[in-house]
Structure 1
Amino acid sequence: MRLILNAASEEFAATGFDATQIREIAARAGLPKANIYYYFQSKENLYANVLLSFVEPLLEASAALRASDDPAVALHAYIHARIRIVQENPLSSKVFSHELLRGAKHLPQEHKALLQAEAQHNVEFLRNWIERGLIAPVDPEHLMLFIWSATRTYTNLAWQMSLITGTQHPAATDYHNAAATITHMVLSGVMQTNEPFGLSC
């Protein structure tokens, strides 16, 4: 099944949901079409499983945010976890991002419910820190949106990023530096510190 999911991620990422054909996924996986239908029954179900393969790590990243009551520790862990997810799952990340840009029309309702519940929990966690004076009184919803958008840049803006970095694909150091930069920006804003910038974050 992992071979099929990998092939499907590659095909959906390259051509999108509507243009992708099961026969192309089968050819990429080196399997008969019947094997694809045996495990996943339909293109829609296979696509949903590709999306779920990215939703599950996102939920794990949210757990990292709430693992500590120290905002500096928790936000650092959350940002680095989200960058690591994109680095480790570049194709399913791209498929997931494209699905969101299309209005999440094919994202199963149970996936949407899980993501919405996690988002609300995360925002309430941030709001609690604000009310206790642990972080600056920023808008928690927009802080969360900023983190989401910043940590998905390497997926959504790959072509633009290549213009800046001069390489077709981000290297491991690019992901590390991205996580460090985003962490510094967020902590500098919400912790109101004057610590010097450094890529060791």
Structure 2
Amino acid sequence: MARESVTAKRRTPKAPEDRIRARNEATILRAAVELFARKGFDGTRIAEIAEASGLPKANVYYYFETKEAIYATLIERLLKGWDKALEHIRADREPREAIAAYIAAKLDYSRRHGTESRFFANEIMRGGAFLSKAQRRHMQEITRERVDVVDGWVRDGRLRPLDPRHFFMMLWASTQFYADFAEVAAMTLGKPKLDAADYEAARRTVVDVIVAGCLAAESRP
């Protein structure tokens, strides 16, 4: 009976008010990130977010007490997405598979969340004033953990000698470019906008070049 009760509880759908809250918060965040990406924090007003989301201004304040709260939520969501991609870089995986999976995940995130990536890039170019100390520390710590993994691969002779910090910056540059500079990428490819096939071509190219360049000679196919 206890097992049945637990199962039934897990299958209980969210209350209607929870679904409404989740839907409205998502709507507000979608509208806000578009505005922040184009106009920055100072150039965006709550009234504009309300208008773009199709919700009354009072509703926006109901879900988010301040504009800063919306901005901070967007940063936190993006960092979680990037953290998820970094989970592929693990000491128990072969470097070839781990690096290829990480590149694929980062490019997929760029494709699905291009506006969020541009929003964050603009925040950093403005000095990153809204990055909290905890977020900065988290970014440093999670990068350091993955740097240690790459260092271990180098020590084991599975990667050629390289600076893992510059290695990660190269990975970020080659994957986030397709979101942060989507217009340039599309123009280079001679088309109005990027599509899924372009991201797949990018994945193959970036993986082929970077993986082939960093694997130790004995680890290459």
Taking structure 2 as the reference length, the TM-score comes to: 0.83
User: Does residue 1:80 correspond to 2:104, yes or no?
Assistant: yes
Question: Post-superposition shift, 1:156?
Answer: 2.2
User: Does residue 1:189 correspond to 2:213, yes or no?
Assistant: yes
CA contact (8 A) 2:86 2:146 kept: yes
Partner residue in 2 for 1:94: 118
Partner residue in 1 for 2:81: 57
- How far apart, CA to CA, are the structure 2 residues paired with 1:48 and 1:67? 32
Partner residue in 2 for 1:171: 195
What percentage of aligned pairs have identical amino acids?
A: 32
Q: What pairs with 1:110-121 in structure 2 (closer than 5 Å)?
A: 110-121=134-145
CA RMSD of aligned residues (A): 1.5
The partner residue of 2:204 within 180, 189, 192 is 180
Q: How many residue pairs end up in the alignment?
A: 195
Q: Please, which moves more after superposition, 9-18 or 142-151?
A: 9-18
Counterpart of 2:115, as a letter, is L
Partner residue in 1 for 2:70: 46
User: Does residue 1:154 correspond to 2:178, yes or no?
Assistant: yes
Q: Please, which moves more after superposition, 53-62 or 152-161?
A: 152-161
Taking structure 1 as the reference length, the TM-score comes to: 0.91
Counterpart of 1:184, as a letter, is D
Q: Over alpha carbons, which structure has the higher Rg?
A: 2
1:41–1:67: structure 2 CA closer, same or farther, 3 Å change rule? farther
Question: Post-superposition shift, 1:143?
Answer: 0.6
- How far apart, CA to CA, are the structure 1 residues paired with 2:170 and 2:162? 12
Structure 1 residue runs without a partner (length 5+):
196-201
Question: Post-superposition shift, 1:103?
Answer: 2.3
User: Does residue 1:17 correspond to 2:41, yes or no?
Assistant: yes
- How far apart, CA to CA, are the structure 1 residues paired with 2:141 and 2:194? 31
Partner residue in 2 for 1:36: 60
